[in-house]
Amino acid sequence: MTTVGVGMVGYAFMGRAHSQAWRSVVPFFDPPVRPVMAALAGRTGNEVRAAADRLGWASAETDWKELLRRDDIGLIDICTPGDGHAEIAVAALDAGKHVLCEKPLANTVAEAEAMVAAAERAAARGVKSMVGFNYRRVPAVTLARKLVLEGRLGTIRHIRAQYLQDWLSDPRSPWTWRMDRDRAGSGALGDIGAHIIDTAQFITGDTVAGVSALTETFVPERPHPDGGTARVTVDDAALFIGRTRRGATAVFEATRFATGRKNSLRIEVNGSRGSLAFDLESLNELWFHDGTDDGETAGFRRILVTEPSHPYAGAWWPPGHVLGYEHTFTHEIADLLAAIADGTDPRPSFADGLQVQRVLAAVQDSAERGSGWAAVEGS
């Protein structure tokens, strides 16, 4: 059995989610290359050692560069804030390590381009890279894409996508790095807007070609955990309309101020033959309207996406025994390991991540110009 040693950088929310996935991928997916959770890297010695212990990593490092020097590590998993992605990913790929990098790929288009260049150099040597748009791996989302590709929706006319959270709606919620443009790149736009862009493009197989956007920062200053206040330099909400390369219209909304909505990624796609709808807060369900059904009984029907024939579902439990948020990360890692084993290029690639980054940049550009139309570079 071939193995690959994994070194992960960062152990906050995403680090915990990825650790859970690295621990569960072998028993459920029996991957052809088995991961060995070799080391966790973080800045503070006692904290990273405690986290490594708790999350299942065999050792801890206080400098991520040490992971690149170790021969027992062949894959780097980047779970840091956005400002660390480009430096770590480029160095890791140049050192011949496979890379899984959290989304959004980078904080700027220039960083993302450098990462794609490194990924291309590495690919020529058989080294793989992937960006972690985990919602592609919700079984219902993968099924939605399959239905579109099979032509069950016909020509796609409308995409309607929202990502609604409310964790910042209270102005007393403390400032974090996610509110700092230098560290996070942008606010709701890059954090959750990137997910709806990727999910919409993944499901439809189309890309956003141009946008008109509006962003808003409702609370420009927040209490700093160390005392005093700190300035919020990112958007709290981003709204934009767009047109796709193939001529569909799209409406997107990403906000952290939708009171009562916790983690609601909703998408509806309308085509000439039918429609589908999905909400992450009910992630085992896909709603499908087949416009070719008899008019009297036609309508949206709820598909419970837990059958063994459904994407990923067969690896888990019997039908109806629902899956959750964390499974998407296990699926992502299972696919990455399969690609490493069979020599194919895993998706979403760094090039896919760059394309999303270009949409984010177009949104920012349009919003800064009072919602003027902004073409997406390269589309």
Q: Which residues bind ligand SOE (CB under 6 A)?
A: 13, 165, 191-192, 263
Label the pairing between strands 229-231 and 221-223. Answer: antiparallel
Alpha-carbon distances of 333 from 22, 130, 213, 326, rounded to whole Å: 7, 10, 34, 12
Label the pairing between strands 374-375 and 129-132. Answer: unpaired
For the CB of residue 104, give the shortest distance to ligand SOE in the complex, in Å.
Answer: 9
For the CB of residue 300, give the shortest distance to ligand SOE in the complex, in Å.
Answer: 26
Stretch (H or E) spanning 355? helix 350-368
Give 82 or 210: the residue with its C-beta nearer to ligand SOE.
82
Bridge partners of 266, per DSSP, are: 162, 279
For the CB of residue 263, give the shortest distance to ligand SOE in the complex, in Å.
Answer: 6
Angle at which helix 139-149 crosses helix 194-204, to 10 degrees, equals 40
Give 180 or 191: the residue with its C-beta nearer to ligand SOE.
191
CA angle 286, 289, 292 (to 5 degrees): 145
Q: Which residue has its beta carbon closest to ligand SOE?
A: 191
Q: Extract the tokens encoding 20.
A: 């859970």
Type of residue numbered 379: S
Helix (H, G, I), strand (E, B) or coil at 103: coil
Bridge partners of 177, per DSSP, are: none
Give 5 or 15: the residue with its C-beta nearer to ligand SOE.
15
For the CB of residue 213, give the shortest distance to ligand SOE in the complex, in Å.
Answer: 19
In the chain, the largest separation of any two C-alpha atoms, in whole Å, equals 66
Give 166 or 221: the residue with its C-beta nearer to ligand SOE.
166
For the CB of residue 165, give the shortest distance to ligand SOE in the complex, in Å.
Answer: 6
Give 13 or 317: the residue with its C-beta nearer to ligand SOE.
13
For the CB of residue 112, give the shortest distance to ligand SOE in the complex, in Å.
Answer: 17
For the CB of residue 153, give the shortest distance to ligand SOE in the complex, in Å.
Answer: 26
Give 62 or 108: the residue with its C-beta nearer to ligand SOE.
108
Give 76 or 192: the residue with its C-beta nearer to ligand SOE.
192
Stretch (H or E) spanning 240? strand 237-244
For the CB of residue 44, give the shortest distance to ligand SOE in the complex, in Å.
Answer: 22
Q: Rounded to whole angstroms, how far apart are CA atoms 91 and 212?
A: 36
Give 107 or 165: the residue with its C-beta nearer to ligand SOE.
165
Write the burial class of residue 320 (CB in 10 Å: 0-12 exposed, 13-18 middle, 19+ buried): exposed
Q: Rounded to whole angstroms, how far apart are CA atoms 76 and 74?
A: 7
